[in-house]
Structure formats: C-alpha cells, structure tokens
Amino acid sequence: MLGNLWLIPILCLAGAAANLALGMLRANKRLVSIVGVGSVGLATVTTFIALSEYLGQARDVIRETYFTWIAAGEFVVDASFQLDQLSAIMISFVTFVGFLIHVYSIGYMHGETDRGYARYFAYLNLFMFSMLVLVLGSNLPVLFIGWEGVGLCSYLLIGYYYEQEYCATAGKKAFIVNRIGDFGFLLAIFAAFAAFGTSEFLGLREAVAVDPGGVRAAATVIGLLLFVGAIGKSAQLPLYVWLPDAMAGPTPVSALIHAATMVTAGVYMVARTNFFYQASPAAMLTVAVVGGLTAVFAATIGLAQNDIKKVLAYSTVSQLGYMFLGAGVGAFIAAIFHVVTHAFFKACLFLGSGSVIHACGGEQDMRKMGGLRKHMPITYWTFVVATLAIAGIPLFAGFVSKDEILAKVFAAGAVDLNHFGSLYTLLWVLAVAGAFMTAFYMFRAVYMTFHGEFRGGHEAEHHLHESPPSMTLPLIILGALSVVGGILIGFPGQLFHRPELNRIEHFLHPVMAPLAAAHGEVANAGQAAHGVSLPTEWVLVITSVLVAVAGWMVARNFYVGDQAFAPARRLAERFPFVHKLLLNKYWVDELYDAVVVRPFFGLARFSWKVVDVVIIDTVFVNGSAFAVELTGDFLRFLQTGNVRNYALSVALGILVLAVVLW
Amino acid sequence: MLDTSLLSLVTLLPAAGALVLAVLPARPAALHRWLALALSLVVFILSLAVWFRFDPDLPSFQLQEQLSWIPQYGISYHIGVDGISLLLVLLTTLLIPVVILASWSSIDAHVKGFHISLLLLTTGMIGAFVALDLFLFYVFWELMLIPMYFIIGVWGGPRRIYAAVKFVLFTMVGSLLMLVAILYLAWYHQLSTGAWSYDYLALAATAPRIALAGLWSPQALLFLAFGLAFAIKVPMFPFHTWLPDAHVEAPTGGSIILAGVLLKLGTYGFLRFNRTLFPAAWDFFVPLIVVLAVIGILYGALVAMVQPDIKKLVAYSSVSHLGYVMLGLAAGTVASTQGAILQMVNHGLSTGALFLLVGVVYERRHTRMIADYGGIAGIVPAYTGLFLLVTLSSIGLPGLNGFVGEFLILAGSWKVFPVAVVFAGLGIIVGAVYMLWMFQRVFWNPLVHDENRTLTDVNLRELLALAPLVVLIVWIGVHPTTFLSPMEAAVRSLLG
C-alpha cells in the first residue's frame, strides 16, 4: 500500500459519491449501509496493511507526491501525503473508530427515510475522506483542505435535521465560528511561506531547526496564528461556543466528529507543527494557558448541565483543553496520547448516550431518566468503564494519558520551563481541580442516568430496551479499549524504571524530537519531565488518583440513595448566583450576541441604508443628476431664441473684451 | 481562413450571426433560440481551437491580426491574445451558450431581439478582450453598452428603465473621459514620434514617458481617466451602486453576462491599460487602489449580509469578490496577479452559476425574496446540492475554484501589503456569514410557504446549462495549474 496512500481517503470519497447517487435514486438502506460501512471498512483494512508495511521498513517518513496542486510565482504546493509515526497513529484510530461509528449508525439511523439515510452516510463518508486528508497532508495547504472539508461535513451533519431551525442555526454557527479560526490558519500559511519559502512540514521543520533562536519571531507569529485555527476547530476559549450547539446533530456524529476525531484536529496540528512552538516560548505558553483555562472553565459548566449530550460536550471541550495544556508544556506526545485514549472513551460515552437517547425516545434530559441500568446493561457497563477512564481511575485509558499530561505540567513548573515556572505551576493546580470536577460531573451523569428509579413516566418506561447489536458491539469494543487502550500503547514504564514500556513515547519521538539540543533555551518539557524525581512522580500519581476518587465519591454522595439530589439542591440554594451562572454557561452566548453579533448587523444595516442609499445614491448620484438638471434649467434662460438678447450679449461681450484688452 | 483569421472569426462571428437573425422572421421564436445556441457553440469550439493553438510558453500576443483601418491616424484593426486575455475570451465564449440555455423559457417576448442583442454583446466583449488598438478597443467597449442597455431595459424587471439608464449613465461618464485620454495618448505619440498611433504595443512604449509630477500632472490624470471608466465597471467602492440595481432588474441571462464578463472588463482594463501604459502613475495610485479594494471587500460583504433579495445579495457579494481581484492586481506580485486573473474566471463561473440558480426558482415562484423560501432542501434535492456546491465555491472552500484564487491573491499580497491582507482576510469570515445564512433561510429551516411544496427540481435544460460551470468549479479547485500555467509567461512579462 505504501506508494498508494491516496487509496485510503479515496475509498471513503468513492463511498460518499456512491451514497449521494443512491440517495438520488432512493435506494434502500441495505445497499446504502453496505456502501457506507463497506467503503470505510475497506479504508480501515487498507490503513492497517499500509501500517504493517510501514513498520516493516526502515524509513521514518514516506512522502508521496501525486501532482502539483497550485503553482504561481514562488508559491508551489504539491498534492502530497506523508506517512510518519504521527500520521500513522492518527489514521489508525481515525479509520478504526470511524468504522465502529459507521456500524453503530446502521442501528441508530434506521428510522430515517431512505433518502435521509443515504444523505447521512454520504456526509459521514465524506467526513472520513476529509479527516484522512487532514492527517495525511504533507504541507499546510493540503492539511487545510482536510481541515475545511471536515468543517463542511460537520456543518452538514449538525444541520442534518435541517427543518428544525435550531439544528440549521447550530450548523451555520459551527461553520462561521470555525471560519474565524480558519482566518488565523490562512494567515499562518502566508506567514510560513513568506518566512521560510515552503509550507511542507519537513521543510519547515528543517528550516526552524537550523537556527531556532534566529527564527523565534517568525515562529511566534506562525505558531500563534496556527493556534487561532486550533482554537476554532478544537473549541477552546473563546471560540468554543459552537461545540455545545453542535450536539443538535445525530449522536453518532457527535461521537465521531465532535468528540473522537475532528475536534482533535487542532491538537494534531499543534503537534504536527511542534517545531514552531518549540522555537517560541511565548506561543507555547499561550497554548498552555488557553488549554488550561478552557479545561477548567468547561468543566465548571459541565457540573450543572442536565442534558446528557451537553455534559459530554463540555467535557470534550475540557478534555481538549488538557491536550493543549500538554502541548503547551512541550509534552506533544502526551497530548497525542490523550487524543487517542479520549477517542476511545469519549466515543464510547457518546455512543452510550446515543443508546440511552434511542431507548428514551429522543429524551436527552437526565432528570427524566434514571434506573436505566436494569434495562440496558451493556450500555450501562460500557458507559461506566468509559467514565472510569475519563475520570482518571488507575489503569483505565484516560488515567494513563491524563496523568502524563499532569506530570509534565508539574515538571514544567518545577524546572521553571522558559522562566514561566510559576505560571505552569498555577496551571497544574487548575488542571488538578479540573480533574476533580471531571470525575464529579461524569459520575453525576452515570448516577442520574442509570441509577435510582426511572423518572420519565410509565409510558416511556415500557419502551426502554437495550439497543440492537449493531449499536452494542461498537460499545463493547470501545469499552474494552477504554479499559486497556491506555496501558497497551503507553504504559507509564518510567514509574517502574522500565521506560521502554511506554511505546507511544518511543514511537512518536522522531516526529516530536527536541529541535537542536545545542540551543539550550529551546523549550522541551520532554526533558523537563526528568527534572522531577521518581518519588515526586509517584506522589503526583497518588494525588491525581485521590482527586479523581474524591470527585467520584462526592457525586455518589449527591446522587445516589434515599437522599439523591437533595445535597445538590441544597448547594444550589446556598449559592444561587453560582448555580445560575453555571446553568446558563456564564451567559457567554448572550454576551457574544450583544457585543459582536448585534453591532455587526447594525453596521451592516448602516452601510446599506445610510452609506449606500442615502450618501452615495441620493447625495452624490442623484445629487449630480439634479445639479445637471439645475444647470440646464439655468442655461435655458440664456437660450431665449430672441435675436435682440443675443445681440445684447455680443455687444456686452465686446465691451468687456475691449476693457480687458485695454 | 481558419489559419490566419481564427481570432477574428471568434470575435466577429457572433455579430455576423446577429445580422443573420435580424433578417429572419421573428417567428417561430424557437428558430432564433436554436440558431443562437448553435452559433454560440461554434464560437466556443473555435475559441477552444484558439486555446490549443496558443503557445503557453510565449509571453507575447499570439494569433495577431492587423488590418489597416484609418491609416492617417494610425488606427488599425489589430487583435491578438496573450495568456491573460485568452482565459477571459474562453470564459466569455463558455458563458454565452449557458446564457442562451438559461434564457430558453424565461425570455418569451421579443425572442429575436434578445438573441440579436446577446450576439452583438458577445462580439463587443470578446473584441474588448482581444483588441490591441485603443481606438478599436473603445469601439468594442461602447458596442457592449447598447445591447446591455436593451437587455436590461426591455427584458428586465419592474424598475428596468431606471436600472438601464443608471447603468448607461454610470458607464458613459467613465468612458467619455477614457476616450479623451485615448486621444491624448495618440496625440502624444504623434508628438514624440511624429506619427499618430492608437496601437497598444506602440503606445505601451511612448505612454510611460508622459510626465508624472503629482496629482495634476498628465500621466496621473490619464490614469484617472482610464481608471474611472474601469473602476465603475469593476465596480469599485464607491462607484458600485449601479450594480445592484442593474442585477436586480436584469433578466437571468443579463445578470450572468454582467457578473460573468462585463465586470471583468474593469479589472482587465486596470491590468492591461492602467498598469502597462502608466507605470509611474500606477505606483502612485496603488495605495488608493488597495484601500478601495479592501473597503470594497468588507463593505460589499457587510451589505450583502442584510439583503432580503437573493439577487441583490449576490450583486453585493460581487463587489466584495472583485475587491479581492483588485487587491491582487494592486499588490502586483506574480502570484497575486495570477490569482487575480484566475479569480476573475472563478467569479464568472461561481457568480454566473449563482445567478443561473436564482433564475431557476424565480422562474417557478416569481420571487427572489429570501423570506419567500425556507425548508425547500427536501423538495428540490438536486437543486439544493448544486446550490450548495456553488455556495461553497463562492466562499472559497479548498478543493473548489474560489479557494485557489483567493489563496494566491492573499498569499501573494502578504509580503507587499500585510495589513491589507489581514483586513481582506476578515472578508472571508463575513463571506461565510452571508452565504450560509442565506442558504439556511432558503433551503433549511421549517417549510412555511405551502407554495414551495410543489416546486419542481432542476430540469435537463437547466442541468445542461449548469454542468460546464460545475465541472470547471471542481476542475479549477483540484487542478488549477491547467489554467495557471498558460498565463504565467504573460503575467511575468507584464509585471516586468
């Protein structure tokens, strides 16, 4: 397969095209499922064949150029893909998790019309194509093709139920907010071209590595602009507002696009261009600060949400924040590690919530659920293990990756990374607080949904049922990965004097390697981690475990047993303002509406009604026409047709002329 | 004949066809439609022959033809194409059959007159692109005006007379000053060489010598005389207010021509005449052009956002899109100029397709108000898909044509005018806002108007009209080098 990497995304594109055609022909769902799931299945198989070939040979980077995409002046952009350790990891979990979610969709979407079903799978296939282009692209513009492509599919799938206005609006909002990020991304591409004359990742890395100190200014500008793009796509402060609304899309879409893959594209991009951040302490610190603040901010909102998908959405924003926090201390590998484990457990949680919503007839409010574990044991148990994973209970997938990030952030503070040590320490404290909240809101969701008695009424209770195998099978696989996925690919061997067990650390090292060791100043927390002793590392592990368990126990105390909900209510009554603040998500949407959206539309109306209609058209255009008319009217008096008047004029003229000449 | 006069054939065949239609009886109307369509296809095929005969490695004008016309004043029938005009000629010849198909059923009065006007207009447009004699250029330039005046004024909407008169007056104001400037150039040529000449290549040698010393010096005034004519045509802010009126009142076919080709004559004029003939004044005025271009980008996008009429929205979006083109030309790097030229073609394709698509529902529902639609995606799925594709092309989704043009313009301008690029980049955000908001209100949201339940999807004729545009939208997006490489030599030589 090496040499023909294009086959992997093209298979998905072919699936999308075929399903579009099938939709037009109103083909039945069976055929659409075969095409939709089959194409991604083939792409997955192809991916793993390519990976085995890749691992069986010696080269680090396989770069394939297919044709020259754009060539004008000094701008030459190849249509080319690049398989290295980073893209290898990305394509493997993207195709695998994507395939599972395609399978799950067969069951989840079975109630749609034939046409809607085909449209759904066409978009989902197109998404897979775009996502694969995104991670395989060997330069910034090709990455950008995938970047915009996934955004388009996200837009189309959020707006899948387009006749509901809130879905249509949410889709549009997602696209537009992302465009703000894309604006930064595009400028970054221009700046990279201008500074280094290339947009190829390999070329850029080389150019930066030659003299990281010398290109610091350019690296800072490019790094920050790229990060603006990442903030949009990966829903960080202050552009996270589209992601909670994006839950209007079908739940498998939330799992695939808005949890497991697309939203992590920003993290991928930062990891892919890690050399810019390594060369720029300021850009790196920005990444860490934005990530850390978002992680905590979103977690606080998650505490008070009652819509199960909203809890998961804010949780995703928060977890993405952790990934950026990791990247922001130079722990790019830990960030990518968390991308992968997060894909497992968050996809599992979303698909689990979809299973719940499916059973509850579309209900998403956890206050109207409860006691579901009796009715849907598979969904329950998979949801629980995924919750254990995200909460950071030892050995589950999320624990290993999140702990690595926390440890590296602490280390960055301890070794005073880039002289920002105290800031990094502060971020570590915030991140630990966030971990507590994560454990709390996730177990809160578990208890509200699955424990206690069903609160949705008798009618609804009759319909409760476990989902079909097409839905539970992906749940079981993802649940299993939520348990063992972390230790399999990234066992924290360093804690046991066996660092070689941390496979992902070794595997990704060539892509994320520190620039030049000669430049001592250059930030790299991969080395910073060695700045803390082994006992300290163990203390950190124990701390985060205690924090997670504490969050879990508080949730249990609040939402289980005879007194369920009472402590939470009392707390809300004692701090009504805080409760309202969290419940209403800090009124950020309302704030943006008042400060950005409304003035913007006001300016637009002013431009149209005042500048265009009154000033330009009335004053200048019609004004000059009126002036011509007036002049004409005035001149008309001179043309009386009366010969004596003309004679008088001539006489006066001669007189004036004579006087002047004299 | 085909060997030596290919370009003349492409240019003049439509006018000859117009004469043939003129002597034929007005009925049956179908005769005129079919004849005009056949003729336009022949012209398109001939223009493809021009494309294949063109040597992309040569920067010079090719397929030149020169016949003496008024030798005493150095006026000749001199035409030729370089890589820049070649693309615009092809865009024109491609759009004419599209327009005829788009007008097939919507134009049902004075069918004969419509097609005569259209064919005369075609000769005017192609002639203006290939003319290498400024007098000849002016003749073609004015030739375009009259048929367009009729197309708007006869086959237009309720306020068509107002719009047609506004269109003519705006254009005349600019072009009269340009005529004076052309005469001055010929006179100056006579002054410096002893012989009158209106020849572009001859004037390109003498005109740059005209003195430039501040705003009131001859070269600056000449620049402004040409520049005003072209700025109105583009249209650049603040000379744009004729455009929304003209578009709203023009029939679908008229709008496609107007947006697709006529506006390009403005941007083309800046590149071909202002930049080449008055290089010093060009440098002097570039900051002004950049500022007006960026204002146009943002202002056009802002005003487009709040339009209740789809056609008006698209018209204002043209102001925004052509702002990008002007920015690319003003920056004057190879990449930004190539991007600007490609973007002229892109805008012709995408906006042409948008007007065509608006015409499709207008023909069925007789309204272009956004509020009269909503939720029709399920009723007309093929139409929705096509509209979406063109929308995405218009907002510059990579993989489609609009991205390549905008990317090259902005990337190429970055080194020269970084601040302008940042502001122009904001236009990309607003572009997504107005297009997607319109798309949402027309195709998504609840279906509230029952009249829309019986809308029929695109028919075969409409599909045929759209097909070449859609194919090129994707083609240019995926493989733009097909169109970038033939113009590179010409652009490099033009930029010097």
Residue B424 lies in a domain: yes
Instruction: Choose the weakest-confidence range: A34-43, A234-243, A650-659, B229-238.
Output: A650-659
Whether chain B has a CB inside 8 Å of the CB on A149: the answer is yes
- List the single residue in B303, B339, B410 with the smallest CB-CB distance to A186: B410
Give the residue from chain A lying closest to B405, CA to CA.
Answer: A70
Question: What is the percent of chain A where pLDDT is above 90?
Answer: 64
Whether chain A has a CB inside 8 Å of the CB on B132: the answer is no
Cβ <8 Å between B414 and A605: no
Whether chain A has a CB inside 8 Å of the CB on B414: the answer is yes
Cβ <8 Å between A69 and B446: no
DSSP helix/strand/coil, A208: helix
When pLDDT is averaged across residues A453-479 and rounded to a whole number, the result is: 89
Angle at A69 between CA A64 and CA A70, to 5 degrees: 135
How close B171 comes to chain A (CA, Å)?
A: 13
pLDDT at A4 over 60: yes
Cβ neighbours of residue B235 closer than 8 Å, sequence gap 6 or more = B242, B243, B263, B266, B319, B322
Cβ <8 Å between A72 and B305: no
Residue B351 lies in a domain: yes
- List the single residue in B302, B421, B484 with the smallest CB-CB distance to A604: B302
Residues A330-368 as b or e (16 or more Cβ within 10 Å = b): bbbbbbbbbbbbbbbbbbbbbbbbbbbbbbbeebbebee
Contact yes or no for B158/B49 (Cβ under 8 A)? no
When pLDDT is averaged across residues A608-618 and rounded to a whole number, the result is: 86
Residue A616 and residue A610: Cα distance in Å, rounded?
A: 9
Cross-strand bridge partners of residue A365: A307
Instruction: Choose the weakest-confidence range: A161-175, A518-532, B118-132, B227-241.
Output: A518-532
Cβ neighbours of residue A5 closer than 8 Å, sequence gap 6 or more = A50, A62, A64, A81, A83, A136
Residue A26 and residue A12: Cα distance in Å, rounded?
A: 20
Cβ <8 Å between B421 and A187: yes
- Give chain B positions within 8 Å (CB) of A115: 381
For residue A526, name the pLDDT band (cuts at 50, 70, 90): very low
Residue A490 and residue A6: Cα distance in Å, rounded?
A: 29
- Give chain A positions within 8 Å (CB) of B238: 616, 620
* Residue-level pLDDT at A520: 46
Question: What is the percent of chain B where pLDDT is above 90?
Answer: 91
Cβ <8 Å between A601 and B305: yes
DSSP conformation letters of A151-200: HHHHHHHHGGGTTSHHHHHHHHHHHHHHHHHHHHHHHHHHHHHHHHS--B
Q: What is the Cα Rg of chain B in Å?
A: 22
C-alpha distances in Å from residue A420, one per residue of A231, A411, B268 = 22, 12, 54
**How is chain A split into domains, by residue range?**
1-138, 139-583, 589-661
Cβ <8 Å between A163 and B305: no
How close A152 comes to chain B (CA, Å)?
A: 9
Cβ <8 Å between A73 and B335: yes
Cβ <8 Å between B428 and A607: no
Instruction: State the pairing for strand pair A75-83/A62-72.
Output: antiparallel
* Residue-level pLDDT at A73: 87
Structurally, chain B folds into a number of domains equal to: 1
- Per residue in A21-40, pLDDT (tens digit) is 999 888 889 999 999 999 99
- Give chain A positions within 8 Å (CB) of B303: 604, 607-608, 612
* Secondary structure element (H or E) that encloses residue B409, with its range: helix B401-414
- Per residue in B317-374, pLDDT (tens digit) is 999 999 999 999 999 999 999 999 999 999 999 999 999 999 999 999 999 999 999 9
- List the single residue in B338, B381, B447 with the smallest CB-CB distance to A73: B338
- Give chain B positions within 8 Å (CB) of A164: 446
- Give chain A positions within 8 Å (CB) of B479: 67, 69
Residue A546 and residue A543: Cα distance in Å, rounded?
A: 5
- List the single residue in A23, A152, A604 with the smallest CB-CB distance to B397: A152
Give the residue from chain B lying closest to A67, CA to CA.
Answer: B479
Cβ <8 Å between B485 and A149: no
The answer for A 81-120 residues in CB contact with B (under 8 A) is 115
The answer for B 78-97 residues in CB contact with A (under 8 A) is none
When pLDDT is averaged across residues B106-118 and rounded to a whole number, the result is: 92
Tell me which residue range forms the domain holding B468: 278-496
- Per residue in B387-410, pLDDT (tens digit) is 999 999 999 999 999 999 999 999
The answer for B 319-338 residues in CB contact with A (under 8 A) is 333-336, 338
Cβ <8 Å between B382 and A152: no
- Per residue in A198-217, pLDDT (tens digit) is 999 999 999 998 888 889 99
The answer for A 584-643 residues in CB contact with B (under 8 A) is 601, 603-605, 607-608, 611-612, 616-617, 620-621, 625
When pLDDT is averaged across residues A154-168 and rounded to a whole number, the result is: 93
Q: Which amino acid belongs to residue A405?
A: I
Q: What is the phi/psi pair of residue A306, to 5°?
A: -110, -15
- Per residue in A565-600, pLDDT (tens digit) is 888 888 888 888 888 888 888 999 899 989 988 999
Q: Which amino acid belongs to residue A168?
A: A
Q: What six digits make up the tokens of A102?
A: 């395609």
Residue B282 lies in a domain: yes
pLDDT at B129 over 70: yes
Q: What is the phi/psi pair of residue B66, to 5°?
A: -140, 125
Contact yes or no for A42/A15 (Cβ under 8 A)? no
When pLDDT is averaged across residues B69-88 and rounded to a whole number, the result is: 94
Residue B360 lies in a domain: yes
Residue A203 and residue B381: Cα distance in Å, rounded?
A: 45
Residue B486 lies in a domain: yes
Q: Among A417, A393, A438, which residue's Cα sits nearest to residue A331?
A: A417
- List the single residue in A20, A172, A604 with the smallest CB-CB distance to B303: A604
* Residue-level pLDDT at A151: 94
When pLDDT is averaged across residues A636-650 and rounded to a whole number, the result is: 79
**Burial (0-12, 13-18, 19+ Cβ within 10 Å), B486:** buried
C-alpha distances in Å from residue B446, one per residue of A175, A245, B281 = 20, 18, 55
Whether chain B has a CB inside 8 Å of the CB on A159: the answer is yes
Question: What is the percent of chain B where pLDDT is above 70?
Answer: 99
Whether chain B has a CB inside 8 Å of the CB on A71: the answer is yes
Q: What six digits make up the tokens of A380?
A: 């329950």
* Secondary structure element (H or E) that encloses residue B120, with its range: helix B111-130
Q: What is the phi/psi pair of residue A77, to 5°?
A: -125, 120
Cβ <8 Å between B407 and A115: no
Whether chain B has a CB inside 8 Å of the CB on A533: the answer is no
- Per residue in A373-405, pLDDT (tens digit) is 889 999 999 999 999 999 999 889 999 999 999
How close A578 comes to chain B (CA, Å)?
A: 34
* Residue-level pLDDT at A501: 82
* Secondary structure element (H or E) that encloses residue B331, with its range: helix B310-331
- List the single residue in A175, A189, A605 with the smallest CB-CB distance to B436: A175
- Give chain B positions within 8 Å (CB) of A159: 440, 444
For residue A292, name the pLDDT band (cuts at 50, 70, 90): very high
The DSSP code for A81 is E
Whether chain A has a CB inside 8 Å of the CB on B151: the answer is no
pTM: 0.93
* Residue-level pLDDT at A453: 87
How close A330 comes to chain B (CA, Å)?
A: 29
Q: Roughly how many angstroms between the first and final C-alpha of chain B, as a whole number? A: 35
Contact yes or no for B60/B82 (Cβ under 8 A)? yes
* Cα dihedral A265, A271, A276, A282 sign: positive
Residue B494 lies in a domain: yes
How close A635 comes to chain B (CA, Å)?
A: 21
Residue B184 and residue B218: Cα distance in Å, rounded?
A: 9
For residue B2, name the pLDDT band (cuts at 50, 70, 90): low
Whether chain B has a CB inside 8 Å of the CB on A17: the answer is no
Whether chain A has a CB inside 8 Å of the CB on B445: the answer is yes
pLDDT at B130 over 70: yes
Q: What six digits make up the tokens of A212?
A: 């990281």
Q: Calculate the dihedral angle through the C-alpha atoms of A449, A454, A457, A459, rounding to the nearest 10 degrees.
A: 90
**Burial (0-12, 13-18, 19+ Cβ within 10 Å), B379:** middle
Cβ <8 Å between A186 and B412: no
- List the single residue in A73, A167, A625 with the smallest CB-CB distance to B333: A73
Q: Which amino acid belongs to residue B395?
A: I
- Give chain A positions within 8 Å (CB) of B392: 152
Q: Roughly how many angstroms between the first and final C-alpha of chain A, as a whole number? A: 101
* Residue-level pLDDT at A521: 47
Cβ <8 Å between A620 and B238: yes
**Burial (0-12, 13-18, 19+ Cβ within 10 Å), A279:** buried
Residue A421 and residue A586: Cα distance in Å, rounded?
A: 30
pLDDT at A1 over 80: no
DSSP conformation letters of B335-367: HHHHHHHHHHHHHHHHHHHHHHHHHHHHHHHS-
Cβ <8 Å between A604 and B241: no
Residue B196 and residue B350: Cα distance in Å, rounded?
A: 43
When pLDDT is averaged across residues A287-296 and rounded to a whole number, the result is: 96
ipTM over 0.90: yes
For residue A524, name the pLDDT band (cuts at 50, 70, 90): very low
